[in-house]
Structure 1
Amino acid sequence: MESLLALFSDPAVWAALVALVVMEIVLGIDNLIFISILTNKLPEHQQQKARRVGIGLALFMRLALLSMIAWLVGLTEPVIDLGFQGAPGQYGEPTFETQFSWRDLILIAGGLFLVWKATKEIHHNVDPHPNDDVFDVGRTTMTFGATIAQILVLDLVFSVDSILTAVGMTEHLPVMVIAVVTAVLVMLLAADPMANFIKRNPTVVMLALGFLLMIGAVLIADGFGVHVPKGYIYTAMAFSAGIEGLNIWARRRKAAVETSG
């Protein structure tokens, strides 16, 4: 207890905690969008339970990974070497990596899964009653177990990214734990409002699926060593969400005028 009091008496620790909480919440938005879209496909009485289970699994996974920090840091060590260099870029360095760590492989697999899932959902939204062909991806109904399994896969990907971010920002385990728990609690509080908002505004679903496609592509690029600054990604997402907010506002104003008229 005395060591914790001494730790949190340092203003630099508080600054790191605030920065890490903000970063973890921002990273958690991706996870929350995916959970909201998936759980909205379940029967009404199962949706809230599925969201809570999914977010609870995210918390469990993050805390489990925090308890294995030494092992997790080792995930950045190369385990596969293809034995050749990528084409040289502008400054003479390879444009992509040919040595892959477990973290890289997890990000690539998670990104591919996210791209596949978002593409499948976009297809289902564009053509909700497809013909009987090999591209019929909208006919089966999601079960509770299948939904949780898919959430679990993406929880793992986002958890690895989240914890490696925490390790890179601070060396104090209590700070990491507080930041992760705080971020997941925010996700838990925001889960139902976000899911309900997406359900009430169908056009937001397509925008969110576009976000997931972009996030999946960024995860794949990151796995290949092409690092896209997160600020660019979230700025683009915020701008798109702002435009969609104006569209929703305009539609509501128009509907109110037509009703009053």
Structure 2
Amino acid sequence: MVRIFSIIVSALLILSLAGCAWLNRQADETEGWDVTQLYNAGAREMRSGNYQRAIEYYEKLETRYPFGRYAMQAQLDIAYAHYKNDEPEAAIVAADRFIKQHPQNPFVDYAYYLKGIVNYNRSVGFLDRFIPTDPSQRDPGSALDAFNDFSVLVQRFPDSRYAEDARQRMLYLRNNLAKNEIHVARYYMRRGAYIAAAGRANHVIERFQRTSAVEEALEILVAAYKALGEQELAATAERVLTLNREAGRFIEDTPPPDQIGLTQRVWDYLRLDEN
């Protein structure tokens, strides 16, 4: 009797597992799809703004068809979809994976550009989208990362279609990084740390020439030297400040670059739509 009961339980368990497997196969609508069907489904979800769903299609494509143009394009689209889905870390990981796997690929410039765009925007919070803020007062970490990403792009791929936009963003970032140093210098001045303030001001003058922050740096330098009793150094800094003002050498703030539409796909490169 016990043996019969065990056989019945085993049979029911097998049937249950088989039923689950059948249901799983039924639930996967993509079973049997070819590479173009998977890619087109992902592209369709991307255009509709369903980025998580698009990622799922692209990941299935990579798993089933890991070689060829579609797999390569899927990797780039996954990075972009994570970016659009407010997942900056995942976007950077995906872009880095493409760069590592395809360092000589003619489209690797796009991956560097995307990394720069992600870091460029990642410190912008919800309120920043509606309330004007001074980006130079934010943590400069992401700005430095973006600057470095764009720098690699323009150095390695000076003729890239993304290079000019990257250069404009680098100018804007450099100006904000300089102004961040000014904020720190003014903080030191308020705290009475005049040597530290003078050090920050000199750093701006030496490392961030041709930015709007240089004029403020000289002003801080004059005030810091006077507070330290270094009248000769203060007079020298003030003379440099006056001469440059009279000559009109100080420049205005670098305006933020236009938010050009980031290329969602590189169809014109890969010509996937001609297959």
TM-score w.r.t. the length of structure 2 is 0.23
| Higher RCO, 1 vs 2 (CA within 8 Å, ≥6 residues apart) | 1
Rg (Cα) greater in structure = 2
